[in-house]
Amino acid sequence: MKTASRIFTALVFIFLFAPIAILIIFSFNDAKSLSVFSGFSLRWYRELIYDDATLESVRNTLILALSATVISTVMGTAAAVGINRLRNKWIKSAINTVTDIPMTNPDIITGISLMLMFVFFGRMFGRSDSLSFTTMLLSHVTFCLPYVILQVLPKLRQMDPSLPEAAQDLGCTPVRAFFKATIPEIMPGVITGAIMAFTMSLDDFVISYFTSGAGFQTLPVRIYNMTKKTVTPKMYALATIIFFVILTMLLISNFADEDASEKRKIKRDNRKALKK
């Protein structure tokens, strides 16, 4: 049984990583082919460096993701605190239902629906180029918000409500109590929410595709346009770089995690020792 489950796990992960392995290998291909390897070269990485349009789309993606993350994290955290304070059950469930919509609806419907609205108002104001950076930013904030809210809300529910009250009793203004007592308690949720928003925005293709204009292209939209024609290993070179960036980030965060829990453990042990 043990061996059977090992083999099964290995096969699934081979299935998941086969195409990634192949795109890494062929990014170093000397020839233009994506299926015949004819020799090692860094040619496609060199070409990537000189591909201004692609590099600009990478920059666009990062600017968009950062802006969407900041806006959705601030607004979403405030919304979560507000939802948590709501006493009216009916309003609460109405807001929760609406918050669920972008997560349960297929991306294509979210994209189409936003596009229709932008195009409609664009026409109303006599503009045919209504899709732009602004429409993309509005869309990205919209689909990021629910992830932030859903990460922050549980932290608020776990928090002891008497904490900010105690702060106020000790002389804090409500606003100061919020920043001194509530925010530090819910910070882990806020950070997870922000990371999720950032990655969702970075990786989104479908909604960006429908709401992007000619002037502003993100990387996924650019890749889509590139794969319509024949693809060169240049794109694989880009994917390989992305792969190693992600891998490094995940390894660092894992190490940081272990390091932090290790430190916490030492602190706890020290405290115990002091008490004795």
Q: Contacting other proteins (CB under 8 A), which of 60, 73, 207, 220?
A: 220
CA distance 158 to 156: 5
Q: Does 98 participate in binding other proteins (rule CB under 8 A)?
A: yes
| DSSP character string of 160-210 | -THHHHHHHHTT--HHHHIIIIIHHHHHHHHHHHHHHHHHHHHH--HHHHH
Q: Does 159 participate in binding other proteins (rule CB under 8 A)?
A: no
Q: Contacting other proteins (CB under 8 A), which of 38, 41, 120, 269?
A: 120
Q: Contacting other proteins (CB under 8 A), which of 51, 73, 76, 151?
A: 76
CA angle 257, 260, 266 (to 5 degrees): 140
Please identify, using beta-carbon distances, which residue of 67 and 113 lies nearer to other proteins: 113
CA distance 37 to 32: 9
Q: Does 70 participate in binding other proteins (rule CB under 8 A)?
A: no
CA distance 216 to 89: 42
Q: Does 106 participate in binding other proteins (rule CB under 8 A)?
A: yes
Q: Contacting other proteins (CB under 8 A), which of 48, 65, 68, 79?
A: 79
The candidate with the shortest Cα–Cα distance to 78, out of 177, 167, 149, is 149
User: CA 90 → CA 82, 153, 194, distances in Å?
Assistant: 14, 18, 28
Q: Does 64 participate in binding other proteins (rule CB under 8 A)?
A: no
Task: Find the shortest distance in angstroms from Cβ 147 to other proteins.
Answer: 13
Contacts of 54 (CB under 8 A, 6+ apart): 48, 219, 222, 234, 238
Q: Contacting other proteins (CB under 8 A), which of 242, 252, 256, 260?
A: 242
Task: Find the shortest distance in angstroms from Cβ 48 to other proteins.
Answer: 13
Any idea what DSSP says for residue 29?
A: B
Q: Does 62 participate in binding other proteins (rule CB under 8 A)?
A: no
Residues 30-49 that bind other proteins (CB under 8 A): 34-35
The backbone region for 31, taken as left when phi is positive above 0, alpha when psi lies in -120 to 50, beta otherwise, is beta
Q: Does 241 participate in binding other proteins (rule CB under 8 A)?
A: no
Residues 165-184 that bind other proteins (CB under 8 A): 165, 174
CA distance 166 to 185: 14
Q: Does 244 participate in binding other proteins (rule CB under 8 A)?
A: no
Task: Find the shortest distance in angstroms from Cβ 174 to other proteins.
Answer: 8
Please identify, using beta-carbon distances, which residue of 90 and 274 lies nearer to other proteins: 90
Q: Which stretch binds other proteins (CB under 8 A): 7-15, 49-57, 125-133, 267-275?
A: 7-15
